[in-house]
Chain A
Amino acid sequence: MSEAAIEIEHLQKHYGRFEALAGVSLRVPKGSVFGLLGPNGAGKSTLVKSLLTIVRPTECRGTMLGQKIGHRPTLGKVGYLPEHARFPEYLTGRQIIAYSAGLAKVPSALAKERAKRLLELVGMTEWADRKNGTYSKGMRQRVGLAQALVNEPEIVFLDEPTDGVDPGGRIEIRKIIERMRDEGRTVFVNSHLLGEVEQVADQVAIMARGKIVREGAVEELTRKEHRYEVRTLGPVPLEMKSELESKGMNVAGDTVSLVADDANGVQPLIDALRKEGAAIREIKEVRSSLEEIFMESVERQEKEVA
């Protein structure tokens, strides 16, 4: 098993009677892009804020970069872009990065050099010396991303990083995330935009009502939900429909879909169809999208709670 950047044994946060985090445990491998998914109010931001000491957890056991969560010097190796980041309007993009660098104890000369490089990376060189108050939402987000990287962090937490960013900007942010992974950094992305996370994350966890309801590698999770679709030339014979449905298959017009671990599981269906004289036009392996897994997991959790 690869080394963990973050290992949460137990994380709990109560706001009065409300349980925002109900004993979360989570493992984030070092050097990976980790996506934390969940509907609004699931507790994603609270989890990240708890790791960064912005929120004081009710109970917390675990480590981050080999140190106990909350160990302050370790935060010097961490970068953070908050959701709805609000930087002072009177600061320019360059000054925001310098401010963040100062708080992270990055020496002044080094901070200047890095600011220049990071502004270029996020495509903000041209507007670097304009006030934050004049920036669009997307530009603010880019500067926010740059400030999160100024201390060359080992872990970068990005809370809804593409919030308010145009499609072109989203692609750029995705590229930056991939680049960070290539540099060996761990990137922890909080998002409710499943499509985006699916494209970039190695590992994901799905959160609902303060709990992790699903966790694993994206590849693994989508494979777990293997589905096959078999299409016939013309509709599936009526006499077969009820029989196939009774075996848990779904029949709609000329398509029969079934869940199977591999192609062997489809063979009996092919045999049955051929026996009935149905010509097979297409056999297709269909993987569940992360979105389907997400919806299913969240709904299941909602039902359990209800």
Chain B
Amino acid sequence: MRQFLAILNDSFRLLRARTLFWISLGVSAFAAIIYLSIGFDEKGITLVFGLIDFEMEFAKKGSKGAELLYYGVFSNAIVGIWLTWIATILALISCAPVFPEFMEEGSAGVALSKPVSRPLLFIYKFIGGLLFMAIQVTLFVVIVFFAIKLRLGVWNPSVFWSVPIVLLVFSYLYAVMVWLGIKTRSVMASVLLTLLFWIGSFVVLFAESVTYQSTLTGRGFLGTTLNEEGIEDYRKMNEMFKLPYAILPKTSETSGLLDRLLVLGDGDALGKATIEAMGRNGMVGDRDSEVIKDDLDRHSPLYVIGTSLLFEAVVLLLAMRSFCQRDF
């Protein structure tokens, strides 16, 4: 425990020394305050603490629409874009030097000559790297928690699900980066290759989802209506993507779990309530609404997180093996 705390403390000091950490934390706090500045009145939505207002029939104060909109902005814009994309990239860049720098001559020796095993040292350093994201998201969600009470009048602890969810997404990628960092000992190479991997897996997962939806809706990628043969082609393509889909870490789906875990005042999950509301307001047809619901629920959280964590565990084992077998 003493050794773990020493490494955690060191990781925290490392973060504090990184300018990017403070920039990222500042932007996160700013985004949370922007979120806090969004409000609702009798006419619709207000921005910048009431300085600007827009008439919006469905989002009047106290309405279901206002609740959906407020949670939707949090889930899709702030968690979905800022935390799981931009803040994650900044965190990856910030944490990239952790292992390559640790492995430089004269640096690792002190730690490796202590009574701590290499696998444990590796795990402690990895957990230390997750601190960046943990601090960012926690600070952010605490502000959001108070914002929801202020704007919607309820304490909603389910927003705290976003902390483990964003951490999970980051940990999938960080594991890949650690492995590449140990293999290449290059900060730049590990960041670039991790981003390439992320983009590559995103494309594969997106393709799997699109081909799956096409087989259900009968509409192609560009909205063209498909005949039986076309649907069969999409089914074959979907089959082709299934294996990589099963293996790769599901970053988007993991962050999308928030829509299932974020519970509204009436007990409905955000995702389901949003689709129903869109259906009621004629924004999507019944069939599309069914397809979206089906896509949302087709993989259980256990499957999404379980397969992703399995991937992460395999990558971490490979990284740990390289770390443990290396001479410093």
- For chain A residues 72-90, which have a beta carbon within 8 Å of chain B? 72-76, 78, 80, 82-90
B313 contacts A by Cβ under 8 Å: no
Give Cα A82–Cα B110 distance, bound, in whole angstroms: 7
Please, how many angstroms separate the alpha-carbon atoms of A104 and B3 in the complex?
A: 7
Q: Taking the complex as formed, is A232 at the interface, i.e. its CB lies under 8 A from any CB of chain B?
A: no
Interface residues of B in 212-231 (CB under 8 A from A): none
* Nearest-neighbor residue (CB-CB) of B104 within chain A: A86
B298 at the interface (CB under 8 A from A): no
B17: which A residues are within 8 A, CB to CB? 88-90
The count of chain B contact residues (Cβ–Cβ below 8 Å) is: 29
Verify B13–A95 contact, CB threshold 8 A.
Answer: yes
A100 and B7 alpha carbons, distance in the complex (Å):
10
Classify the interface of chain B: helix, strand, loop or mixed. Answer: helix
* Contact stretch, chosen from A47-55, A234-242, A276-284: A47-55
Q: Decide if B109 touches A147 in the complex (CB within 8 Å).
A: no
In contact, B16 and A105 (Cβ under 8 angstroms): no
Q: Nearest CB to that of A55 among chain B residues?
A: B327
A86 touches B112 (CB 8 A): no
| CB <8 Å contact, B106 and A86 | yes
Smallest distance from the beta carbon of A192 to chain B beta carbons, Å?
17
Whether the Cβ atoms of A85 and B327 lie closer than 8 Å is no
B-chain residues with CB within 8 Å of residue A15 when the two chains form the complex: 327
Q: Across the interface, do B108 and A75 meet the contact criterion of CB distance under 8 Å?
A: no
Q: Kindly state whether residue A102 has any CB partner on chain B within 8 Å.
A: yes
Which of B53-61, B114-122, B146-154 lies at the binding interface?
B114-122
A105 and B106 form a contact (CB under 8 A): no
Measured CA separation A107–B2 after assembly (Å): 8
Chain A residues whose C-beta falls within 8 Å of the C-beta of B14 in the assembled complex: 88, 90
Q: Which residue on A lies nearest to B109, using beta carbons?
A: A82
Report 26 cross-chain contacts, Cβ distance below 8 Å, ordered by A residue. Answer: A49-B328, A52-B109, A52-B113, A53-B112, A54-B113, A54-B328, A56-B325, A56-B327, A72-B115, A72-B117, A74-B115, A78-B113, A80-B110, A82-B105, A82-B110, A84-B106, A87-B107, A88-B17, A88-B101, A91-B13, A103-B3, A103-B114, A103-B115, A104-B115, A105-B3, A108-B2
Q: Give chain B's interface residues, CB within 8 Å of chain A.
A: 2-3, 5-7, 9-10, 13-14, 16-17, 101, 104-117, 325, 327-328
